[in-house]
Amino acid sequence: MANAQTDTADIGVIGGSGFYSFLEDVTEVRMDTPYGTPSDSLFLGELAGRRVAFLPRHGRGHHVPPHRINYRANLWALRAVGVRQVLGPCAVGGLRPEYGPGTLLVPDQLVDRTKTRVQTYYDGETRPDGATPSVVHLGFADPYCPEGRRAALGAARGRDWEPVDGGTLVVVEGPRFSTRAESRWHAAMGWSVVGMTGHPEAVLARELGLCYTSVTLVTDLDAGAEAGEGVSHDEVLKVFAANVDRLRSVLFDAVAALPADEDRDCVCAHALDGIDTGVELP
Ligand SMILES: [Zn+2]
C-alpha cells in the first residue's frame, strides 16, 4: 500500500502493564463490536515499516482485572482494523526455580484453568445484531503461531536476552494468585509459567484466523517454587517495570521480523479454511 491508512493495521500488540505508550504519532480509534467494547481504544501507528495496533489489555490505568476483560471484543476489534498477526506479551509467575524474575519464555503450549470466561465466538447463540454464529470446533493442538514464536525468539536473542524456547503456560482465573498446593501441582505437571490472561486470548485469535504469539516475562517465582512469603502485587510491578524497556525493544524487533500478511502460511492462517462460521468476520 503506497499510502497506509491511519485507521488500519496488520499487526496487533495486546500489552499488559507498562505498555500504554507503545507507539509515537498514534491515531486513537474507538471501536465497538458485536461482542461489546474492547478494554480501551486501539492505538494505531507505524513501527519498522509495519502498521501496528496496540491495545492496553487492562485499559488505561489498569482498571479491568483479568477475569473481566472482554477478550472477544478485544480480538474482534483488532481484526476489524485489519490485524492478522497478534503478539501477546504478559507477566507470569515462574513454576521452576530456574525460571526466576526476568526470564523471558515463549511458550508453545497452554493449559486452561480459568472458570468463568467465554472462550468462543461460535456458540450458536444469536447476537444482539441478529447474526447467529455456527457451532464450530477448531483444532487447537498447537495454540501458538510458529512464525510468531520464531520472530519473538530471534528478537530476544538479538537483544542478548536468551529466551526459554517453549514450555507450558497455565492460565488461572485470578485475580488472586495461586495457593502453594495449586502452584506445586502446576509445577508437578511439568508446566512452566502461570498467568491470568493467556486464555481465552489465544483461542479467540485462532477462531478468527489470526496468528497469536504469547511472550511471557517472569516477574516472580510462584508460591510453590519459592520459600518465602509468596507473590505480592508490588513485587510483580517492580520486576515488570525493570524489564519493560527491554521487553518493548524485543517486541519492536519481533514486529519487524513477522512475515508479510500475504506470506502467512501457518496453521493459524488456515484455521478457518472450509469452515462455515455462520457470521461474517470483519
Ligand atoms: Zn500463524
Whether residue 88 is predicted with pLDDT greater than 70 in this model: the reply is yes
Count CB-CB contacts under 10 A for residue 101. Answer: 18
* SS3 (DSSP) at 282: coil
Residues in CB range of 103: below 8 A, 6 or more apart:
94, 164, 217, 218
Distance 131 CA to ligand 1 centre (A): 27
Whether residue 5 is predicted with pLDDT greater than 70 in this model: the reply is no
| CA 210/CA 192 separation, integer angstroms | 25
Q: What is the pLDDT of residue 231?
A: 66
Q: For the ranges 23-32, 87-96, 252-261, 262-271, which has the lowest average pLDDT?
A: 23-32
| Most confident segment among 21-30, 148-157, 216-225 | 148-157
| CA 136/CA 139 separation, integer angstroms | 10
pLDDT, average across residues 207-233:
84
pLDDT, average across residues 205-223:
94
| Ligand 1 (single-atom ion) residues, CB below 5 Å | 145, 211, 266, 268
Q: For the ranges 153-157, 203-207, 221-225, which has the lowest average pLDDT?
A: 221-225
Whether residue 152 is predicted with pLDDT greater than 50 in this model: the reply is yes
Distance 127 CA to ligand 1 centre (A): 28
pLDDT, average across residues 89-103:
93
Q: What is the pLDDT of residue 221?
A: 87
Q: Work out the pLDDT band at 222, boundaries 50, 70, 90.
A: confident
Distance 53 CA to ligand 1 centre (A): 17
Which residues are designated catalytic? Answer: 220, 222
- Higher pLDDT: 71 or 7? It is 71
Q: Work out the pLDDT band at 230, boundaries 50, 70, 90.
A: low
Count CB-CB contacts under 10 A for residue 280. Answer: 6
Q: What is the pLDDT of residue 4?
A: 52
| CA 54/CA 5 separation, integer angstroms | 16
pLDDT, average across residues 184-205:
96
Q: What angle do CA 7, 13, 19 make, to 5 degrees?
A: 105
R_g over Cα of the chain: 18
Q: What is the pLDDT of residue 23?
A: 66
Q: Work out the pLDDT band at 234, boundaries 50, 70, 90.
A: confident
| Most confident segment among 46-50, 104-108, 130-134, 135-139 | 104-108
Q: What is the pLDDT of residue 17?
A: 43
CA-based nearest residue to 250, from 168, 167, 107, 149: 149
| CA 55/CA 74 separation, integer angstroms | 8
- Higher pLDDT: 210 or 47? It is 210
The H-or-E segment that residue 180 falls in is helix 180-188
Distance 154 CA to ligand 1 centre (A): 16
The H-or-E segment that residue 158 falls in is helix 146-158
Are 119 and 43 in contact, with CB atoms under 8 Å apart?
no
Distance 46 CA to ligand 1 centre (A): 21
Distance 189 CA to ligand 1 centre (A): 27
How does pLDDT run across 16-28, given as a tens digit for each residue? Answer: 544 546 566 788 9
Q: Indicate the average pLDDT of the chain.
A: 90
Tell me whether the omega of the peptide bond preceding residue 34 falls within 30 degrees of 0, making it cis. no
| Percentage of the residues of the chain whose pLDDT score is greater than 70 | 93
